[in-house]
Amino acid sequence: MSTLVIVESPTKARTIRNFLPSTYRVEASMGHVRDLPSSAEEIPEAVKGEKWAQLGVNVEADFEPLYVIPKDKKKIVKELKDALKDATELILATDEDREGESISWHLLQILKPKVPIKRMVFHEITREAIRDALTHCRDIDNRVVQAQETRRILDRLVGYTLSPLLWKKIAWGLSAGRVQSVAVRLLVRRERERRAFRQGSYWDLKALLEKGKISFDAKLVTVGKVKVANGSDFDENTGQIIAGRRVLLLNEEQARALLSRIQNKPWTVTNLEERPVTRKPSPPFTTSTLQQEANRKLRLGARETMRIAQSLYERGFITYMRTDSVHLSEQAIAAARSCVQELYGSEYLSPQPRKYTTKSKGAQEAHEAIRPAGSTFRTPQQTGLDGIDFRLYDLIWKRTVASQMADSRQTHVTVLTQVEDAGFRSSGKRIDFPGFLRAYVEGSDDPNAALEDQEVILPALKVGDKPNCKDLEAVGHETQPPARYTEASLVKMLESEGVGRPSTYASIIGTIVDRGYAKLIANALIPTFTAFAVTTLLETHFPDLVDTGFTSRMEQTLDEIATGEAKWLPYLQKFYTGETGLATQVKEQESQIDAKVARTVVLENITAKVCIGKFGAYLESESEEGLVKASIPQDLTPADLDPEQVEFLLKQKTEGPEKLGLHPETGEPIYVLIGSYGPYVQLGEVSETNKKPKRASLPKGTDKDSVTLDMAVSLLTLPRLLGTHPETGAKVQANLGMYGPYVVHDQGKVGKDYRSIKPPDDVLTIELDRALEMLAQPKAVRGSSKTATPLKELGAHPESGEPLNVYDGRYGPYVKHGDINASLSKDESVENFTLQRALELLATKEAAGGGKSSSKSKKSTKTAAKSETATEKTAAKKTTAKKTTTGAKKTTTKKAATATTAKKTTKSS
């Protein structure tokens, strides 16, 4: 007797094996084993001639999806089929959300088991939870599967129908998506608000008062009983006081005159108010609130947060991390209250257990909030975790424990003081009992430090008291434009509008950045000119698809399909093929969309046109010489493009670049220019005999206006030869590269050894001795793993015992075990990389047939590593691009037959 248990990941499989008897065999499907075709190559030969084949959905036959097994999953499917041959029972133990239910259903369609089948679900991976789940197995929920399949088809229809239109009208390779395009529009709307913003300025007075040797601040609020204007009184579109608002706007002269008038006059307390305030703890984390708080506190992106949370879940540290629910089980409440009692004492325990309910109707991704796993909660120090794993677990632990703690009791104090006809206000806050704040303060890392920061202590005052004025100053203010979205605030907005599902937010934001619709700079999501063009086209011709209300209603319908309240087929027919359906709209609108207009971004106060071209955004303007075009630097955002910058870029094209002076040795002119990648200096002019004059980029953070002739001459000496290495005789140089300044030990065919130059060292002044010191420090030699020094030692492989290390390779950091190399993804840092994550990457590579000599496996691993959303958005592009070459890549009859069979099995749902 043997039972085959299938889960999604190797880590999850390894953890569950520890909790099951030896008669259970646990294997991983490595995520989805079947999906809609992602390229023309995957379309079965039997249906390649069909006009719907590119969609992967037969819209003429009740929207029947065409499912295929990707190349990198064929080996895994074979292994699962072989494992099933020896089994007397099959348990499908994929995640308990819609995605997990869908994976189980697809496994059932592919494996076609002839043994008894069970569906096992659990929301934490502990011995108790797994054993309990074994006794409460159920059947696959076909309604949930149907809802997920409808969602998948809907996303495919939107992406594959709109994306080709964007290629034709704006630029090749662009993508549209049901939720992605709405999120991009939110970013663009905020950036438009920033462009429309007009700054206002105002002045007030700030005093430092003292009573009983305790100092406190006071701010001017009235003059002659008229309210003094502050930032909230300004109209963002005009920079002026909002019409009809009766306030006193002080300028600098008036503020300083008032200061002089009241400088040495007596101050009197005219009113004092104390107001008790009670604060309750926040509910435990859901997917979206975890992403928001991890972004605020730990500076983690949504994708990175979910990757770490996934790892913690699969190793048994936390419960399932894709959930809309704030509910805690009785077991979890008891565990949290036990932690409070033991660590903080009974006075910090809430009088009654706190039970949280989820307001969202569609909250059904899982049945409990994200919390520490188990019937007792391990403190962060007891887990053995380190680095970012520790910090995220610590965050989840604190939030969960705090949810069962007593309310925080505070007193807010407001004091009004008068000097002559000027009224001042002082605000204080006293924490009478910290309650849950002792364990957790939202938005702060250290609860104890946060408590101190939150308190603003005022001296004991009463009406009639006359505090001393120790200092009085006039302060100028300028209103600020609306803040750009961060990942946290965008997730919050999407959730509040009911757009998408929290489990998809990480991949949505990742796709927006990966596709060039936004840049993530200093934690802010800044939309690009391309995002402006795409959003304008969709707003003009397909307004519903970027409307948050319309998209929210789509989500509600999908939820209703999952509960049986709505039928999937009529909904898809109306959405896609109806009179106002998407396919009909695209046909009607395509001829009405002028490509030239679509590629043009209209910005207020900019006379030149901003156009989207093959190589990015550029300016276009008419002049006496004709049409002038100038590239816009890639780091210049739409909100920051002003008339002065436009004038400079166009002038650079028409009149030539700005000349700094002549080179002291060659006599050639030196120019400062701005190109696609920012400002740089150039020696000489471009001519027939000098097609590529010497150029040097400015160091990061250096403004073009601050460049002097001497600095330009120094930059043009790069790369600087510092001397020869005493051991090898090879040259040592200093230079500026894409990632900043560096020194390099160039040994020709043997290889190059690099070190970054960090302040206070300077690329223009560093000497050979200092460079040799830096080169003597251990670092991996790029492209030579045999002699490389590890970037990080992770520990021993649990099966082979061999050391696992992270190395620096030609294409970035990677982890190596035997003949298998697995690259770290772009958003993974070496510093936070763990042994557990290394094992996951290696298992994925090995499952895909990965060895370092196999080029096919490299391709498969890359494909496997792509997120579901990213694949969705790029698939239409690949399908069309490869469409004309299908004749050169024939699929065997056997493969076509297999894929066709896979397609037919969908009707069983």
Distances (CA, A) of 741 to 695, 718, 720, 735, 826: 15, 10, 11, 6, 21
Name the token pair of 96: 């308990």
- Collect all residues with Cβ–Cβ distance below 8 Å to 585 and sequence separation of at least 6: 541, 542
Say if residue 790 is preceded by a cis peptide, omega within 30 of 0.
no
Q: Cα separation of 288 and 303, whole Å?
A: 12
- Collect all residues with Cβ–Cβ distance below 8 Å to 689 and sequence separation of at least 6: none
Is residue 210 within 8 A of residue 468, CB to CB? The reply is yes
Please write down the long-range contacts of 429-432, taking CB distance under 8 Å and 24 or more positions apart.
Answer: 429/454, 429/455, 429/456, 430/455, 430/457, 431/455, 432/276
- DSSP one-letter code for 574: I
Q: Cα separation of 695 and 555, whole Å?
A: 53
**Among 304, 22, 76, 332, which Cα is nearest to 860's?**
76
The radius of gyration computed from the CA coordinates of the chain, to the nearest angstrom, equals 32
- In whole angstroms, what separates CA 733 from the centre of its chain? 37
DSSP per residue over 718-773, as a string? PSEEEEE-TTT--EEEEEEETTEEEEEEE-GGG-EEEEE--TT--TTT--HHHHHH
Q: Cα separation of 247 and 237, whole Å?
A: 18
Is residue 315 within 8 A of residue 390, CB to CB? The reply is no
- What CA dihedral angle connects 109, 111, 113 and 116, to 10 degrees? -80
Sign of the four-CA dihedral 888, 893, 896, 898: negative
Q: Cα separation of 543 and 549, whole Å?
A: 11
DSSP per residue over 455-520, as a string? -B------TT---EEEEEEEEEEE--PPPPPBHHHHHHHHHHHT-S-HHHHHHHHHHHHHTTSEEE
Is residue 319 within 8 A of residue 123, CB to CB? The reply is yes
* CB-count exposure of residue 615 (10 Å: 0-12, 13-18, 19+): exposed
754 is catalytic: no
- Collect all residues with Cβ–Cβ distance below 8 Å to 106 and sequence separation of at least 6: 32, 33, 34, 67
Task: Indicate which residue of 24, 202, 313, 320 is catalytic.
Answer: 320
SS3 658: strand
Alpha helices in 768-824 (DSSP H): 768-776
- Collect all residues with Cβ–Cβ distance below 8 Å to 817 and sequence separation of at least 6: 797, 800, 802, 804, 838, 842
Q: Cα separation of 825 and 273, whole Å?
A: 56
SS3 624: coil
Catalytic (active-site) positions: 320
